[in-house]
Amino acid sequence: MTVTASDPEIAAALAYEELHVPALFRQWAPRVVVAKRLAPAIDWREGTAESLPHETETFDAVVSQFGLMFFQDRPAAVREMLRVLVPGGRMAVAVWESLDKSEAYSLEVALLERLAGAQAADALRAPFVLGERDELFALFRDAGAVSVDVNSHRVTARFPSIRTMVDADLRGWLPVMGVTLTEKQIEIILTEAQDALGRYVMSNGTMEFDAPGHIVTAQKS
């Protein structure tokens, strides 16, 4: 088997998987998934979101958890979700609320802006670009979905420490977004993050903060 990913890319992916998934995403899965039971095996198929590799009217349900923000053409991606649904089929799509509603990340973005520049800060802003409810509703309505509903939810993100949370972003998320910092930059940011995010540290040293998001449910006519 030939591995094409570089060592830094693999390290970034592992950091993202090991730290972000349990801290941020695990609590959302039961809220998003429409299926009651999981199949013993999953048939993974790669494809472009704006041109799904499936026949029209193939699926009863389509689920997307925190991916829509990163699609190049979001209206086209929603239309593709609708295309592969059977008539009356449903979709559930989760996105994060706006950055100003995610206080810990707002502070971290400001820290990155000051210490690492706009490119690093924008990389951390990217997951929050679909946080406005009215715009999110319009995206699905204009794509042709019916019975569109946007429900807001708040879960608690939990990291072992401030350093763990910020390090996961600096070594995991930023490289995924094409931004690589020097070790000197990383250490400076990690040091200053202790004060910037100190309000979210619990008595046992762990870090907890609200991680609000939206779940859009819609149907194909």
Look at residue 4 and tell me whether its pLDDT is greater than 50. no
Q: From CA 96, how far away is CA 216, in angstroms rounded?
A: 11
Residues 28-31: contacts with CB under 8 Å, at least 24 apart: 28/65, 28/66, 28/94, 28/153, 28/155, 28/213, 29/65, 31/94, 31/153, 31/215
Q: From CA 57, how far away is CA 64, in angstroms rounded?
A: 17
User: In DSSP terms, which residues pair with 85 in a beta bridge?
Assistant: 59
Look at residue 14 and tell me whether its pLDDT is greater than 70. no
Q: What per-residue confidence (pLDDT) applies to 176? A: 83
Q: What per-residue confidence (pLDDT) applies to 112? A: 98
Q: From CA 107, how far away is CA 113, in angstroms rounded?
A: 10
Contact 158, 208 (CB under 8 A): yes
Look at residue 91 and tell me whether its pLDDT is greater than 90. yes
Contact 154, 210 (CB under 8 A): yes
- Average confidence (pLDDT) over 30-34: 59
Look at residue 161 and tell me whether its pLDDT is greater than 60. yes
Q: What per-residue confidence (pLDDT) applies to 40? A: 53
Look at residue 1 and tell me whether its pLDDT is greater than 90. no
- Average confidence (pLDDT) over 173-188: 93
- Average confidence (pLDDT) over 119-148: 97
Q: What per-residue confidence (pLDDT) applies to 65? A: 86
- Average confidence (pLDDT) over 116-133: 96
Please, which residues have CB within 8 angstroms of residue 32's CB and are 6 or more apart in sequence? 63, 65, 92, 93, 94, 215
Query: In whole numbers, what is the pLDDT of the chain averaged over residues?
Result: 86
Q: From CA 89, how far away is CA 220, in angstroms rounded?
A: 5
Q: What is the DSSP letter of 198?
A: G
Q: What per-residue confidence (pLDDT) applies to 20? A: 59
Q: Of 218, 211, 215, 219, give the one whose Cα is nearest residue 101.
A: 211
All domains of the chain, ordered by start, with CATH? 7-31+57-219 (3.40.50.150)
- Average confidence (pLDDT) over 182-195: 97
- What distances in angstroms separate CA 43 from CA 40, 108, 174, one per listed residue? 10, 37, 29
Look at residue 193 and tell me whether its pLDDT is greater than 50. yes
Q: What per-residue confidence (pLDDT) applies to 19? A: 60
Q: From CA 179, how far away is CA 116, in angstroms rounded?
A: 10
Length, in residues, of the chain: 221
Q: What per-residue confidence (pLDDT) applies to 207? A: 93
